[in-house]
Every structure is written in C-alpha cells, then in structure tokens.
A and B are shown apart, each in its own frame.
Chain A
Amino acid sequence: GEQVEQLPSILRVQERSSASINCTYENSASNYFPWYKQEPGENPKLIIDIRSNMERKQIQGLIVLLDKKAKRFSLHITDTQPADSAMYFCAASGPNYNVLYFGSGTKLTVEP
C-alpha cells in the first residue's frame, strides 16, 4: 500500500497560538493532498487541500505547505481556538484513481 506518515499523534497548544502538523508520503506520483477534521462522533470533513502544482495555500487561518522534492506537506493553524480541538488527518492520492491514503491522525487540543 501507500504509506503516509503523520506527526505528531498528540498536540496540545494554548489558545491563540499556532499548531503545526506534518506529513510525509512515499509515492512521487501523488498529486493531491487534502486535510480532514474529525470531531468526536462525526465523520471526517474536508477543511483544505492542495494540488501538486502549488506550494502554498491559505484559507482564512489554515495554511498548507507542500514540498514535492522532500515529499512532505504540512498544515498550520494560526490563532487557534478551543473549537479547533479535534482529530486531523492528512491524506495523499495514490496510483489508483480517486483513492486517498491517510495518515494516522493528530489529536489536537487547544487549551483556553
């Protein structure tokens, strides 16, 4: 299968600080990298994504960076709020069409 490594598995930050999650992937043909947020008891929801023709994308307080040479991408949440507390998953597209391979998840806790 396709490996996507995600770190850290647990992340605690203070409210209004930044949180960063890092992922690496194996397949150099991967060209689509989404991030999902999952709250307890809920399904994963797409929050931001980036394609391989970009290096940086920002939607409000979410920033995604992609380094294709290093096969690495990251999510940065600026000005965190307690409502940002959740599980976050990175994913990368694989050789099979419309298939995503997921990292193992990061449990983010934003403390007031």
Chain B
Amino acid sequence: VTLLEQNPRWRLVPRGQAVNLRCILKNSQYPWMSWYQQDLQKQLQWLFTLRSPGDKEVKSLPGADYLATRVTDTELRLQVANMSQGRTLYCTCSVGTGGHTGQLYFGEGSKLTVL
C-alpha cells in the first residue's frame, strides 16, 4: 500500500532555476512528514520535519537552498533553489506517537538533475 505520492518523479533543472516538489500523504495515521535528501554519493540526510499546516522552514546545504511548507494535513511541499549538484528528495511519513520516533516510510522520490 502506497503511503506517499511524490511529484514530479524526475526533473531537469536549469542552473539557477528553482523547482517545486509536492508530497501527498495517503494515510492520515502517519502525520509526521519530513523531507530527506540523498546526494550523488548516496548519503541520506534529514532536512525538515513539519507536523502542522502552516509550518514553514528554510535551510541551506552545500549545493542547494530549501524552503519546506506543510500546506495541509496531507500535503507537504519543498522548494529547491540554487541547486548546483543533482540529488534525490524523499518525502517520508511516520506515526510517531507516545513520544517515540516511529517507523519511517519513504516516498518514491523526486530525482533532480542540474542542466
């Protein structure tokens, strides 16, 4: 059963152009939504965890700038700007009740390539 739907799945990004990614949660029992990046060396790195609609965060990492927004209980967005190296962005979800980190499930990913 698919818990998350990400789009686009692939995108060629001209240098200097921003791209907007979207993630839709299919099961509201996993409300803790996050973004992780996987770089070309396959390293997985946490970016953001946004629980509530209206939550927004920004972050700059080597090779890209990020703006994440929890739009609704079921939609998470990520804007990627100033990307200099390709990467894959994964949306994740978890239950996370009782004060414990829950099992984390990954979406299919959005693979970004710099032109």
Contacts and interface: CB of A to CB of B under 8 A. Distances in A.
Contacts of A49: 103
Bin the interface of chain A by size.
20 to 34
Given A43-B108, A44-B44, A98 B94 contact: yes
Contact of B49 (A34, A36, A44, A97): A97
In the A-B complex, the 7 residue pairs with the smallest Cβ-Cβ separation, listed nearest first, are A102-B44, A93-B101, A43-B106, A98-B96, A98-B32, A32-B101, A105-B42
Given A102-B44, A102-B45, A43 B103 contact: no
B80 to A, nearest CB: 18
Interface of B: 32, 34, 41-46, 49, 90, 94, 96, 99-109
A32 B109 CA distance: 24
Contact of B96 (A51, A97, A101, A105): A97
A12 interface: no
Given A43-B107, A96-B49, A104-B43, 19 more contacts: A31-B101, A32-B100, A32-B101, A34-B104, A43-B106, A43-B108, A44-B90, A44-B106, A49-B103, A89-B44, A91-B44, A97-B96, A97-B101, A98-B32, A100-B104, A101-B46, A104-B42, A105-B42, A105-B43
Contacts of A56: none
A46 interface: yes
Contacts, number: 59
A70 interface: no
Contact of A34 (B41, B45, B103): B103
